[in-house]
Amino acid sequence: MSFDRLRPLRKATAGLRYTAAAAIVAAALAVTAVLEPVMERAPSTPLFAVLLVIAWLFGMGPALFGAAVALVPLAYLVDESHPRWYVDQRDIFWILLFFITALATAWLASTVRRLEDERTALLIRERAARAEAEAANRAKDNFLAIVSHELRSPLTAILGWCRMLRSGRLPPADGDRALDTIERSTRLQAKLVEDLLDVSRAAAGKLDITTRSVDLSAVAEQVVESHRPRAEAVRVHLIGDVSGGVAVLGDAERLQQVIGNLVANALKFTPAGGDVVVSVRRDADIARIVVRDTGEGVDPMLLPHVFDRFQRGDSASRGREGGLGLGLAIVKYIVEAHGGVVRAESAGSGAGATFTVDLPLEAAKRTLTSAA
């Protein structure tokens, strides 16, 4: 029989458990008194059964308390031949025997209950460990499939164009196109490998961060301008709304990587005619970077995991661009290494998304460093 439904009783407050034990014992004594004529040889049997249940439900302490409550009333139910409130050697012997028996019964029931609880806890942990191992195995398989696909695609393009160039049958007009494709595929492959290395370093706590004064406004403007040709190619309006003079202590290249990954992610999931807005502002003692788009948005179920490694959104945009699903994970690693926080917000599918990065301003960070 499973007592899982009664588990909350075992975790009730001590006062409630002891009060319940006393009430149950009182009810058992009342029943024993009523049934005394037909239970002359074993009037304490119902009480032992009740103490067993109390020990199982509430623990050994309440069971012993119930046994103490029942001692004197039960003694008079067993033997009414002597005057009231008089205890002789026979009564003392009976009380000791009853208490020892009750103690053994309570200990046995409490031990069995504890062992069952431990077995249940072990079963739960085993199931959780198995589920975690299965999830890790699926993630590994998914990772290998993603990496294989993303690395094979540029290699296929490079190999195909190299064969055509080597054959000498490629028209001269297509030579530049072949070289552009080879260069673009090589850069893509280098980016994929670099992302893998960044995630590996970050997971090991070895992400290289060179701290110095950085003009965050200038970094954001550079990122916007560098991504403008790509935005124009997919017919997305890329808007820079950057306030000047926002300075932080950090690594300029890594911060450029943060904003670049956020902008690239927004462009990837924003359809033609949509907007991507990049803003940098001061807010009290923090520098706030906001990348907002009018794209496909993020499903509420996916939102808490959007910064997980190898998390890739399912959308039609996947056919346009690939990726390992590492860009946002790298953003989180870099931002946290700078003492900042990053968060994602979206009203749901089709409602766009907003990514916000908060970094301590240079003056505030220097003050904290000096105080430390």
330 half-sphere exposure, CB direction, 13 A CA radius: 30
187 half-sphere exposure, CB direction, 13 A CA radius: 6
Is 212-371 CATH 3.30.70.260? no
Token representation of residue 96? 């000791």
The overall average pLDDT reported for the chain is 79
The pLDDT confidence band at residue 92, using thresholds 50, 70 and 90, is low
Residues 6+ apart with CB under 8 A from 201: 207, 208
Residue 71: predicted pLDDT:
67
Residue 317: predicted pLDDT:
47
Q: Among 143-152, 252-261, 358-367, whose mean pLDDT is lowest?
A: 358-367
Position with higher pLDDT, 25 vs 99: 25
List residues bridging with 293 in a β-sheet. Answer: 276, 353
Asked if 73 contacts 117 with a C-beta cutoff of 8 angstroms, the reply is no
Mean pLDDT of 207-235: 90
Position with higher pLDDT, 78 vs 143: 143
Mean pLDDT of 239-253: 88
Residue 221: predicted pLDDT:
93
In this predicted model, what pLDDT tens digit does every residue of 125-150 receive, in sequence order? 999 999 988 887 887 777 777 778 77
In total, the chain counts a number of residues equal to: 372
**Has residue 239 got a pLDDT over 90?**
yes
**57: burial class by Cβ within 10 Å (0-12, 13-18, 19+)?**
buried
Separation of alpha carbons 81 and 154, rounded Å? 101
**Has residue 205 got a pLDDT over 50?**
yes
**Has residue 233 got a pLDDT over 50?**
yes
Strands in the chain per DSSP E: 212-215, 237-242, 247-250, 275-283, 286-293, 341-345, 353-360
Highest mean pLDDT among 23-37, 304-318, 332-346: 332-346
Position with higher pLDDT, 290 vs 2: 290
Residue spans of the domains in the chain: they are: 4-129, 212-371
Residue with tokens 């399912």: 314
The pLDDT confidence band at residue 100, using thresholds 50, 70 and 90, is confident
Q: Among 70-84, 170-184, 208-222, whose mean pLDDT is lowest?
A: 70-84
Amino acid (1-letter code) at residue 93: F
**Has residue 79 got a pLDDT over 70?**
no
**Has residue 320 got a pLDDT over 50?**
no
Residues 6+ apart with CB under 8 A from 31: 46
Residue 42: predicted pLDDT:
52
Position with higher pLDDT, 43 vs 176: 176
Instruction: Output the CA torsion sign for 328, 329, 331, 336.
Output: positive
The pLDDT confidence band at residue 1, using thresholds 50, 70 and 90, is very low
Separation of alpha carbons 87 and 110, rounded Å? 31
Mean pLDDT of 82-88: 52
Residue 313: predicted pLDDT:
59
Q: Estimate the crossing angle of helix 89-167 against helix 60-78, to 10 degrees.
A: 160
**Has residue 238 got a pLDDT over 80?**
yes
Share of the chain above pLDDT 70, in %: 78
Pairing of strands 275-283, 237-242: parallel
**Has residue 181 got a pLDDT over 90?**
no
Mean pLDDT of 113-118: 80
Mean pLDDT of 200-210: 81
Residue 217: predicted pLDDT:
92
In this predicted model, what pLDDT tens digit does every residue of 45-69 receive, in sequence order? 677 777 777 777 777 778 777 777 7
Q: Estimate the crossing angle of helix 14-34 against helix 60-78, to 10 degrees.
A: 20
Residue 66: predicted pLDDT:
78
